[in-house]
Chains A and B, each alone.
Chain A
Amino acid sequence: MNSAITDTEAQGQDITAQSGRFWVVTYLAITGLVLLLMMVFGLLMRLAQAGWLAIDPSLFYEIMTVHGVGMVGIASLGGVAVMWHFLARYVSLRAGVLAINLVLFLVGVVAMLAADFIGGFAAAWTFLYPLPAVSGSVWPAWSAELHLFGLLLVGVGFLLICLEVGRALIAEYGGLGRALGWHKLFFNSDDNVPPPAAVAAAMVVIVDTPALIAGAAVIVMSLVNLFAPTIAINPLLAKNLIYFFGHVIINATIYMAVIAVYELLPRITGRKWKTTRVFLAAWTLSTTMVLVIYPHHLLMDFVMPTWAMMLGQVLSYINSFPVLVVTGLGALAILHRSGIRWDLVSTLLFISIFGWMAGVVPAVIDATVVVNSVMHNTLWVPGHFHFYLLLGLLPMIFAVMIHLARNEDVTPRGGDLTAILYLLFGLIFVIMFLAGGWASVPRRWAVHLEQWQIWDKVASVMAAGVIVIATIFVVMFLARIPGMLRQK
């Protein structure tokens, strides 16, 4: 993994992928702006729980719904931008699909915003049956229908992205199996071995496509139920489909964004990230397991088959580790004695690996049945997913934004203190969630008791800090957009 890059490979890496650059920049600009908006929504909720801001509970749950679905959607959009930007160096992608996806995404988002803030829909991103249709007159049926229709449009857009990436990988490598490097993994063949970016992209296509199909099915079923309430859905079936869909989609965002680590760290250190058989085995294992471990979201559903629960718990222990270990150790191997001079991009990438690895720990703890039965409905759960999204996923996306804003020049330019401040604010922010969960503070409550509010107050201050630093990153990117688009 530490061998020097050959001239040809370095030349290949230096080539800027022209195709889709406009759309990648547009995607990242929208990602940055929407992220900030969603962060502000999150801050408003923490301020309300802290007792520092009076928000009507109905509005709180509307904000919570928008924040949840908005963050999943924008994490996907940002992940697609990162994946596309780097993957376009290895396979032929058609940028028109990015445009179609963006149109569907924006129309879907507008529909959901109208449904939630005008219609009052507030059933959270999970839209669990039968809540959309049985709101107790809190929201009208049309708002639930509009929200689900918007979500369907967003899903259709991402399906097109998966199909285009899959098509390109099959055209280049001869199949998604070969794009996962199975010919090297199982037969030790060195013929057209895919780079890490292609391996990760293949994994995303394989897991996201069935998840989106399942998501479309359950959304349409929910719509049918809204239009014809006598046609009931088996609640357990609906929950399984929704969590299969949601679990895979949010996991895939990190698998898209981690491509930034595989592509940028080698450029920064001048060392190649090799596609070894261990690396390929890890990705194949995670590809399989991410599809089957979603029952760890349903550990409180006692009617679930025992084998599914066991699968959910046991495989949750294993699922994340293969890719995490090869990514974490790979990064350390590349960095060790590389003479790296830390700057904003490299520090953000290193933080992202830490955030991803450390964020998985509370997730795995929560995937244990005896823990889950106590902790599942507490702030522990938002604690774990904020950990690896705020400190794992987002630093990867910010690193790519800054990298592009610097015209893809990896010469160190400082700024690492800003990244460390982001880590500090973010870490304390997520620890407040975990501490609240540890103290059995319930999640999804608009109003908190006074004795719970110490964690909310500290979290609010830290959230404000995160937003300030994130704004700096986004502004750095937005200010350089004209230059980025002019770049050859």
Chain B
Amino acid sequence: MGIDRQVAIAASLIALALIPPVAAWLESGLVSHLFGQYPLLLGGGALIGSAAARRHPCGWSAAPALLAGLLALAFWLIPRWIDAALADTAANTAKVISLVLLAGLPLGWGWQQAGGVLRGFVWANVASMLAVMGWLQLSVPSRLCNSYLQSEQAVYGRLLVAAALLMVVGAGAMALLGFRMGQKPKDGQGPAPPKHRLDRQG
């Protein structure tokens, strides 16, 4: 995909998440808010970050960028701040900017440049923590978000657990079938192949 096209799609995703009627509808439910608006904003930021990384690669920054992006995302998953974003326009603006620029963009930037091990590590950690978050939503005996019903919280919790399972099964299937999690080492980069392999090829 061309970089310009990637940026255009990113802008479309962000715009879709922010169109007033759509935004209001997405924010009206916990599930649509966190499984609808959040991914649109994150995806938009990530596409921009990925495009930037393709234009200005900087390998060492992958891990810090991924960590920063995940921390920013984690902040906006705290029920206290989900409520704040719904109750206060300034907080909602901060949420949108953070999810696009502080979470999505560094996640896209870091993911684009991360090798297979780092990608797998992030994937595995996100999967296990999604499962824990899902369990928390289901186990806490009271509402976590004042703005949403407890019944929605239960649905959200189940969806988080399902997402975690899907991540594990999906990554497992891709690894079995040979989908590369990381970039192929360029010529002259990466460890040298074992000698016996050269013998065999010769």
Contact = CB atoms under 8 A, between A and B. Distances in A.
A163 interface: yes
A163 B121 contact: yes
A178 B190 contact: no
Contact of B175 (A88, A89, A176, A237): A176
B59 interface: no
A212 B124 contact: yes
B193 A92 contact: yes
B195 interface: yes
B170 interface: no
A381 interface: no
Interface string B164-191: 1000100010011111111011000011
A221 B200 contact: no
Contacts of B127: 213
Contacts of A13: 196
A103 to B, nearest CB: 15
B32 interface: no
Given A12-B199, A160-B117, A220-B129, A174 B178 contact: yes
B177 A224 contact: no
B197 interface: yes
Residue from the set A170, A173, A178, A233 with the largest chain B CB neighbour count within 10 Å? A170
A167 B196 contact: no
A11 interface: yes
A303 interface: no
Interface stretch (B85-93, B102-110, B134-142): B134-142
B117 A90 contact: no
B178 A175 contact: yes
A17 B191 CA distance: 13
Contacts of B180: 170-171
Interface residues of A, number: 49
A196 interface: no
Interface string A183-215: 000000000000000000000011001101110
8 closest A-B pairs by beta carbon, nearest first, are A175-B178, A12-B196, A167-B116, A163-B120, A216-B128, A177-B176, A92-B191, A217-B128
A399 B9 CA distance: 58
A163 B115 CA distance: 11
Given A89-B194, A175-B178, 6 more contacts: A89-B196, A163-B116, A166-B116, A175-B177, A206-B175, A213-B124
B125 interface: yes
Given A88-B194, A89-B194, A224-B136, A159 B176 contact: no
B176 A176 contact: yes
A224 B132 contact: yes
Interface of B: 115-117, 120-121, 124-125, 127-129, 131-132, 135-136, 139-141, 164, 168, 172, 175-182, 184-185, 190-197, 199-200
Nearest to B134: A217
B194 A177 contact: no
A9 B194 CA distance: 13
20 contacts: A9-B196, A15-B196, A19-B191, A89-B196, A92-B194, A94-B191, A163-B116, A163-B120, A163-B121, A167-B115, A167-B116, A170-B178, A171-B185, A175-B179, A177-B178, A205-B175, A210-B172, A213-B127, A216-B124, A220-B128
Nearest to B176: A177
Say what secondary structure dominates the interface of chain B: helix
A223 to B, nearest CB: 9
Nearest to B195: A15
Residue from the set A171, A178, A230, A237 with the largest chain B CB neighbour count within 10 Å? A171
Contacts of B191: 19, 92-94
A97 interface: yes
A159 B182 contact: no
Nearest to A92: B191
Contacts of A224: 132, 136
A318 interface: no
Nearest to A180: B176
B124 A209 contact: yes
Contacts of B199: 8, 11-12
B117 A167 contact: yes
Contacts of A89: 194, 196
A163 B172 CA distance: 12
B116 A170 contact: yes
Contacts of B116: 163, 166-167, 170
B194 A91 contact: yes
B124 A170 contact: no
B128 A231 contact: no
A164 interface: yes
A88 B127 CA distance: 29
Given A15-B195, A90-B196, A92-B190, A217 B178 contact: no
Contact of A175 (B132, B175, B182, B200): B175
Residue from the set A205, A210, A234 with the largest chain B CB neighbour count within 10 Å? A210
A177 to B, nearest CB: 4
Interface string A60-98: 000000000000000000000000000011111110010
